[in-house]
Structure 1
Amino acid sequence: MSVVEIIDHDEVIYRILDKPPPEPPKTPRYESELEKQLKELKIPKLQKTFGYAETPLNPPDQFLKKGEGIGQPIKKSDHKCYVSGKLPPVPRRTVSGKKPEKPKTNFKVLNIKKAIKTKPKPVEPRLVDTRDGHIKKIKGSGEIPEYCLRKDFGQMPAYLVNRNRRIQKKIDKIKYAEEHKESLCKLISEQERQALLKDLKYNWQLLQKDFLQLPMLTDTIPKILRKTKMEQELRQLEKDIALIESNPYIYIYD
């Protein structure tokens, strides 16, 4: 058996294996023709974020000349002035040769008359109390009596007079009400007295009937309390009946 040695060969294992099928080609992406035109027409602009590294200066011949600055805006108005026939006529120009007429009143004479009639300002009394010439007004200083010379000195003020008058009116009103008030004590008539006596006797009969119906044996506390209470009511009714029978004239208070 012979062995064959293969020294020169270009065989690779990756070429022996089957290759995967190729991917299908992608459909071309839609591109707008208008967008291409806009990109061509677009002018690049500087990004105004941080500004220029160095401030660009104008050349020397482009300095600011007179009238080229930014002035105040002129306000435009649609107003129109219409001249009407009701306006007064324009005054005529005075002739330079004529002098204006002087007023006939003589102001010098008027001023002299006013000066004669005017009274001088009264001199305010003052007091010099030091050798250095310190001046003090006498009025209000207490040097001369002023308050005691007033017309209303020693008289009661008006607000106190009005206050006393209001108090006196209230006192008079209270006195009048006390003098003319109706008496609280009232005399009852004979018919009312008899009706009251009749009612008291009727109540006494009803209570006496209930009292007689009580049991003879009072062996519990409620029975004792009820019996004592009815006895007290009977005594009170008997006292009232005796009082009304013995007194023909009875007064009551409202």
Structure 2
Amino acid sequence: MSLVEISQHDEVIYSILDKPPPEPPKTPRYESKLERELKERKIPQLRLTFGYAETPLKTPDKFLRKGEGIGQPRKKSDHKCVVSSNLPPVPERPPPGKKPEKPKINFKVVNIKKAIKTKGKPVEPRLVDTRDGHIKKIKGSGEVPEYCLRPDFGKMPAYLVKRNRRIQRELEKIKHAEENRESLCKQVSEEERQKLLEDLKHNWQLMQKAFLQLPMLTDTIPKILKKTKMEQELRQLEKDIALIESNPFIYIYD
């Protein structure tokens, strides 16, 4: 058995393997000629930023002066002041005159006269009910009758008098309306009575003719019900005709 010692060699395994086929070249990307012209003609602009990190302060000599602030805009008006030479003259100032003298009043005399004519305050009646001098007003204490001496004692209150008068007027209106109310009963004239009687007889004839045309054999329920109904209507017409013929005077209520 022999050993082969290889200390130096430049053999690479990747060179032995087959290499993949090369990728086909890509087609050139479409580029508009107009876009290229616009880029060439574009004016360079300053880049916009978020502003200063800290707002720089103005120098002391650049303070806000009068008339430099933001004021309210003046409203424009279409009014034009027309100045003509035919204006009236300015009225002259009246000449200074003496002020009217105020009458001199002696307030002392006036106060003395008022004090003489003023009546004294009436003394309120009081009651001393203890030896220590406890004072109690008589008015409202119940010691002297007051309520029974009032001018309106035992009289009906004014609101009850007004209510009774209003109720009396309503009752009189109702009584007057009942007395002058027209009668609801009305007498039927002879012409209307004869016309009503003729109409009832005509209806009876039509009903009698329809009844006679019914089949003789009533073997079904509808036939029986129809015949029974027509018999009831004929009886009712006969009753109405007999009632009108037996009563020459007929009254009706509206």
TM over 0.5: yes
What is the CA RMSD across the aligned residues, in angstroms? 2.9
Equivalent-residue separation in structure 2 for 1:105 and 1:182 (angstroms): 83
**Offset from partner CA, 1:21-68 (integer Å, 9 cap, x none):** xxxxxxxxxxxxxxxxxxxxxxxx9xxxxxxxxxxxxxxxxxxxxxxx
| Aligned counterparts, 1:180-191, within 5 A | 180-191=180-191
Please, what TM-score do these two structures have when normalized by structure 2?
0.57
1:217 aligned partner, one-letter code: L
- In structure 2, the CA distance between the partners of 1:161 and 1:104, relative to structure 1 (3 Å rule), is closer
The answer for the alignment partner of 1:157 in structure 2 is 157
* Equivalences, count: 164
The answer for the alignment partner of 2:193 in structure 1 is 193
The answer for the alignment partner of 1:217 in structure 2 is 217
Equivalent-residue separation in structure 2 for 1:206 and 1:242 (angstroms): 18
2:122 is the counterpart of 1:118: no
Please, what TM-score do these two structures have when normalized by structure 1?
0.57
- Structure 1 residue 135: Cα displacement: 2.2
- In structure 2, the CA distance between the partners of 1:132 and 1:86, relative to structure 1 (3 Å rule), is farther
- Structure 1 residue 196: Cα displacement: 0.5
- In structure 2, the CA distance between the partners of 1:172 and 1:104, relative to structure 1 (3 Å rule), is closer
The answer for the alignment partner of 2:176 in structure 1 is 176
- Structure 1 residue 132: Cα displacement: 3.5
Equivalent-residue separation in structure 1 for 2:194 and 2:185 (angstroms): 19
**Regions of 4+ moved over 6 Å:** none
- Structure 1 residue 131: Cα displacement: 3.4
- Structure 1 residue 105: Cα displacement: 5.8
The answer for the alignment partner of 1:202 in structure 2 is 202
Unpaired runs of 5+ residues, structure 2, are 1-53, 55-91
Query: Structure 1 residues 208-217 or 148-157, which shifts more?
Result: 148-157
- Structure 1 residue 155: Cα displacement: 1.1
Equivalent-residue separation in structure 2 for 1:190 and 1:119 (angstroms): 95
Query: Structure 1 residues 180-189 or 108-117, which shifts more?
Result: 108-117
Equivalent-residue separation in structure 1 for 2:185 and 2:191 (angstroms): 18
- What SS class does the counterpart of residue 236 from structure 1 fall into? helix
Equivalent-residue separation in structure 1 for 2:218 and 2:173 (angstroms): 64
Equivalent-residue separation in structure 2 for 1:148 and 1:239 (angstroms): 78
Equivalent-residue separation in structure 2 for 1:131 and 1:224 (angstroms): 115
Query: Structure 1 residues 124-133 or 223-232, which shifts more?
Result: 124-133
1:236 aligned partner, one-letter code: Q
